[in-house]
Structures are given as C-alpha cells and as structure tokens.
C-alpha cells in the first residue's frame, strides 16, 4: 500500500472513531474529517499509563478499543478507581479545553487503541473554522450537565478470557465454554473467539466487542502466548481447572499483568466437578492460581450462577445475628426461593453466619431445618458452664455441634460463595472471612463476649461479629457482585425479657431477679452487640433491600421458639413479596430445570 492510500485509510479510520464517540455527537461530517486529518493513532499495552494525575499534557483521546481505568490520588497516597472508559468514550476533554493539569491518572486495563487529538491541532482548526469551537462547546456543555447528575462508575466486565489449566481435557473446556455461552445469552449477545483467529486476533476482538454484549476469548492450555494475548484483551480472566486435580499452576495462566500499576487483571478460578467435600482441594488452589474469587461448577446447572456472578448481576443474601431470632432467616430464605429468586452468594454475622453457611453448603431445605433444630433446640449449645474468668461457658459443646454439622470443610469448599464476619478486638474492626476452616470462623463469629470464650488466631482476638457489624452489608457490596439483600433479625426495636413467668427460686434468692427481668446472658448479648445498632441507617443505604421480620418479642436465647420464629420469617417475607413486588423487580430469577438445554445439565 502506498503512503497516500495508507493516509486515506488512517483518516477514514479516525473519522469512524470520532463519529462513534459520544463526545462528538452532532458535530458535522466535514468538521470531523478536518479533526481526523490531525489525529494520531496510538496503542498502549495492558497496565501501561496513558497519563498521570498532575501531568501538563492536554491532549484529547478517543478510545477505539480496549478499556482504561481512571484513578484519583487519595490523601493517604493510595489511588481510588473512580471510573472505567470503554470504546467510544473520550479521555482528557477537560484538560484539552482548559489547558489545566490532569486531575486523574489513566491506566490501560486491556491492550487499547486510541485516537489522539492535540490541543494545538484542535486550536488550529478552531482558528480556521469557529464552528468547531461551537460544536465542541455544545457537546461539552451537555457532558458537564450530565456530570452534575450522575457519576461514571466502574463498569461490568464485558470481555472474558477463559484460561484452561494445561492438564484439563479439551473436551471439558469445550463443554464449559458452550454452557457459559448459553448462560450469558440470557443477558445479551455473546461471541466466542478461540485460537483459530491467531493470525489477526486484534481486529477480530474489536469487531466482536462492537457487535456483542459479551465476548469470550478462549485460551489454550498448551499455548501460553495465545493465552497471554487473551488475558491482555480481557476485563476478567477465568482460570479453569478440575477440582479433583492436585493443585498446581499452569503456564497458560501466566501472572497478573501490570503489577506496577496496582490494578492487576481480576483473576477468578472456576473449579469443575468434585462437588463432594472429600474430593475437593479448593484451599490448595489459593497459592497455585492466585485468584481473587472462586466458583464451583459441578454441572452445567451451575453455570447460570457463574454467569450472574461474573457479570455483576448476582444476588447476595446477608443474614444478621440475633440469637434465637436468627431462626427467622430460614423462613425468609424459604419464601425467597419459593418466589424463584436466584440466591447466588451468602454471608452473615453470628447466628446469621451459621444459617448462611448451611445454604452456601448446598444443604436441602429439610436438612437445614433438621440440623439447626437438632443443634440448637435439642443440642443445648450453652450447657457447659465454666468458672466465669473468661466467659460463662466453656464453648466446647458449641464446638462439637459445629464439627458435627460442618466437619472439616473449608469456606473455599462450599458450593456457593460465602463469607462470615467476626469482630477483631485487637484491631478494633470487623474481620471478613472468605477462606479457612469453616467451623473455626463460625465459632469466632458467634463468640458472644462474656458468654463464650473468644477465638484467638495469630495473636488476634476475635469475638461475635455482631459486636461491630451485625448485618455486614459492606462486606457484600465490596465484592461488586450485584444486588444485596439484607435480612435483619436482631429485633432491635425492643430489648426486654418478655417471659412473664416467675424466675427459679435460686435466681430470686441469689440474684434478686424478678419476673420480666432479662437474664445475664441476654444482657451480655445486648451489651456485646449494641454497638452495631447505629449502623441500621447505613445498611439501608448500602443494600438493595433490607428485610426486617418482626421477631422482637422472641427471646434472644429462646431456642425453643424455633418453629414459631421460622414461621414469622416465612409469613413476613411472603407478605413483602406479594404486597411490595417492586422491591424485588430488579432481582434475577433462577432458571428451572426445564429452562436448561440438555448440555446445561451435563456434568462438567
């Protein structure tokens, strides 16, 4: 191709890029052509910096392909990611107009191609044709008006790199890709690109991204170079392995790119098969895969959940503490599931942590009810009194009951994503647990100060999660997975012992306790959790929806009210779903078996 032809092609490509940018909407075609003649194409690799906050450069960039993160420096020196820029958007328009220093840093999240317009070039055109200034001013005024009513946030991932472990059979990779593609089609058009496009991959990816809502770039476990290319184009990398394999790294996975930018590619591990705990080795993959999030997929029926989680459209259910009042969570979950809501991730504090672990563990409804009734109603967890130096009870009975229920399962081995929260007295902050021995961290999350001994781990003292965060909504929203439903069963609207019966004679003689007075355990529980009462308003603002079943008249330690409390939660949730359907309108529904294609039910 001669220089003239190449130049004409570049101008045409620049015109197309400018025409596709919202910043230049309404600008006449001849003016766009004039701007394009002054434009320059640049490419930056994933992790490279386009410009730094404080730079004096005032060029304007139009993103033709790829993605760019916008970061702003905080008072402590850290960088806050305040937005993402995708194809068709501009970067640096304010600096171009005002000539002021850059107010943020721009870093490429993926290999990106941009069209650069210098301030001087735009200035020369403005001097030649004032209509350019009017057109740009008009568009900029619209952008500024929009900026006053909305902020540009971190967008959902749209391009995914599928990076299979080199030891994973190609047949299983293909089955996984087909199933995930079908699950993503619920949300929009999907393109899948494999190694057959090695010769001209960049153009294929650009066209696929422009024409589809989601793009899957299928890596090759035997070709690290192609897999690395896929990772550089992606918003999110899915590392795929067999749950039954001995954990190991893979050349196809490489390392997270751009470590110098502190904005590495998000890496999420998908373990196929191995649903039974004895066949799982999820905890061992932590070092091998260096992943940020973990998915389990035993069959194609699990892939709709994976699709919701990776596209940030999953629903997380967060359950509060509340002692015996927490049994209301079972009724609420029953009602939500009956309504067809897809509950994709569970978390909780104190009693809510135990109930959430049961559901994240994949227990059927009957099993959840039977095991929790047996443990708390018949098991009498607080029946091993101690000389009250550290606590009123030794906690060994609680530990045995937790071991009977959950065994040696780790949090990573649970079929559904899960977290629980304890309160770190050492660090004076909530501690979020997403890994480790499940029963160990459940024991920490229910360690009511003065009632049960604390859990000490590496010199850090952990007590009941309700002390600092009884409804850990923030822990869920920080994961950026989609809507968050909170269920507050604390019954904080009233604190009083409601049993009018006269207390035992020994309590009246030794302790002076009268009918209607709270017990020492109820007082300790209230003292231990009262600090998180003030977070109720914050929870309302952070969550998509907070449900508060009316359990205030159930005693905090009245385990015998199990069935009554479950019924209260169930009736309340069903009434809310029937009377306030708008509250649940934006939540995803779980597909029934009939909605899954035959391959969607196949083992992975």
Residue 392 DSSP one-character state: S
Edge-to-edge strand list for the sheet holding 67-73: 49-51, 105-108, 67-73, 79-86
Known active-site residue 464: yes
The three-state secondary structure class of 58 is coil
Q: How far apart are CA 123 and CA 197, in angstroms?
A: 42
- Residue 47 CB partners (closer than 8 Å, separation 6+): 107, 108, 257, 258, 259, 260, 261, 263
Q: How far apart are CA 75 and CA 79, in angstroms?
A: 9
Q: Note whether 216 and 181 are within 8 A (CB).
A: yes
Q: How far apart are CA 571 and CA 521, in angstroms?
A: 29
Q: How far apart are CA 169 and CA 222, in angstroms?
A: 11
Rounded (5°) CA angle 281-333-316? 55
Beta-bridged to residue 214, according to DSSP, are 190
* Closest alpha carbon to 415 in 310, 247, 302, 313: 302
Rounded (5°) CA angle 360-365-371? 85
Cβ atoms within 10 Å, residue 200: 8
Query: HEC profile for 218-242?
Result: ECCCCCHHHHHHHHHHCCEEEEEEE
Q: Which of 58, 112, 261, 350 is catalytic?
A: 350
Known active-site residue 350: yes
* Closest alpha carbon to 554 in 467, 491, 471, 470: 491
What is the distance, to the nearest Å, from the Cα of residue 113 to the centroid of all Cα atoms in its chain? 29
Q: Which of 84, 111, 413, 464 is catalytic?
A: 464
Tallying the residues shown for the chain, one arrives at 604
Q: Note whether 215 and 311 are within 8 A (CB).
A: no
Q: At what angle do helices 396-406 and 351-360 cross, to 10 degrees?
A: 20
Residue 326 DSSP one-character state: G
Q: Tokens representing 178?
A: 């087909």
- Among all chains, which residue has been given the structure tokens 């902020």? 151
CA distances 430 to 78, 199, 356, 472, 534, Å, are 22, 51, 18, 9, 15
How buried is residue 42: exposed, middle or buried, by Cβ count under 10 Å (0-12/13-18/19+)? middle
Active site residues: 350, 464
């Amino acid at each position: 191709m001669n220089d003239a032809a190449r130049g004409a092609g570049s101008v045409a490509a620049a015109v197309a890029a400018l025409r596709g940018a919202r910043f230049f909407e309404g600008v006449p075609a001849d003016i766009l052509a004039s701007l394009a003649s002054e434009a320059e194409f640049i490419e930056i690799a994933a992790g490279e910096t386009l410009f730094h906050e404080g730079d004096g450069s005032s060029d304007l960039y139009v993103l033709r392909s790829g993605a760019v993160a916008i970061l702003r420096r905080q008072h402590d020196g850290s960088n806050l990611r305040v937005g993402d820029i995708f194809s068709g958007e501009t970067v640096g328009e304010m600096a171009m107009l005002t000539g002021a220093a850059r107010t943020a840093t721009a870093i490429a999240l993926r290999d990106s191609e941009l069209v650069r317009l210098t301030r001087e070039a735009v200035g020369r055109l403005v001097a030649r044709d004032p209509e350019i200034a009017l057109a740009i001013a008009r568009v900029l005024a619209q952008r500024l008006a929009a900026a006053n009513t909305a902020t540009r946030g971190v967008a959902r991932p749209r391009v995914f790199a599928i990076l299979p472990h080199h030891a994973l059979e190609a047949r299983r990779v293909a089955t996984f890709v087909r199933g995930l593609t079908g699950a993503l089609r619920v949300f929009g058009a999907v393109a899948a690109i494999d190694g057959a496009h090695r010769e001209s991959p960049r153009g294929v990816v650009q066209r696929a991204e422009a024409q589809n809502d989601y793009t899957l770039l299928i890596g090759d476990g035997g070709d690290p170079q192609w897999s690395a290319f896929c990772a550089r184009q992606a918003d999110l990398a899915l590392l795929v392995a067999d749950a039954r394999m001995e954990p190991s790294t893979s050349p196809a996975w490489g390392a997270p790119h751009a470590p110098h930018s502190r904005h590495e590619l998000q890496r999420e591990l998908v373990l196929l098969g191995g649903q039974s705990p004895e066949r799982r080795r999820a905890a061992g993959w932590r070092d091998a895969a260096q992943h940020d999030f973990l998915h389990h997929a035993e069959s194609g029926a699990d892939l709709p959940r994976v699709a919701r989680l990776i596209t940030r459209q999953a629903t997380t259910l967060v359950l509060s503490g509340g002692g015996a009042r927490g049994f209301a969570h079972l009724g609420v979950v029953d009602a939500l599931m009956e309504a067809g809501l897809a509950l994709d991730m569970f978390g909780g504090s104190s009693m809510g942590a135990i109930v959430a672990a049961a559901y994240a563990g994949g227990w059927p409804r009957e099993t959840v009810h039977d095991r929790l009734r047996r443990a708390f109603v018949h098991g009498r967890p607080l029946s091993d009194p101690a000389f009250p130096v550290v606590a009123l009870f030794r906690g060994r009975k609680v530990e045995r009951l937790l071991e009977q229920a959950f065994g040696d399962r780790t949090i990573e081995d649970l079929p559904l994503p899960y977290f629980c929260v304890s309160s770190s007295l050492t660090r004076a902050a909530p501690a979020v647990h997403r890994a480790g021995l499940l029963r160990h961290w459940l024991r920490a999350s229910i360690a009511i100060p003065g009632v049960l001994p604390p859990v000490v781990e590496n010199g850090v003292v952990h007590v009941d999660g309700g002390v600092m965060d009884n409804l850990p909504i923030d822990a869920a929203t920080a994961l950026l997975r989609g809507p968050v439903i909170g269920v507050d069963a604390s019954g904080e609207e009233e604190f009083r012992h409601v049993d009018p019966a006269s207390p035992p004679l020994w309590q009246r003689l030794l302790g002076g306790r009268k009918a209607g007075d709270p017990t020492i355990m109820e007082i300790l529980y209230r003292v231990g959790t009262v600090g998180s009462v003030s977070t109720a308003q914050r929870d309302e603002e952070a969550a998509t929806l907070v449900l508060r079943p009316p359990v205030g008249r159930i005693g905090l330690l009245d385990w015998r009210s199990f069935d009554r409390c479950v019924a209260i939660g169930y009736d309340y949730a069903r009434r809310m779903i029937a009377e306030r359907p708008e509250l649940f309108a934006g939540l995803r529904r779980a597909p029934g078996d009939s909605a899954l294609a035959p391959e969607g039910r196949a083992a992975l």
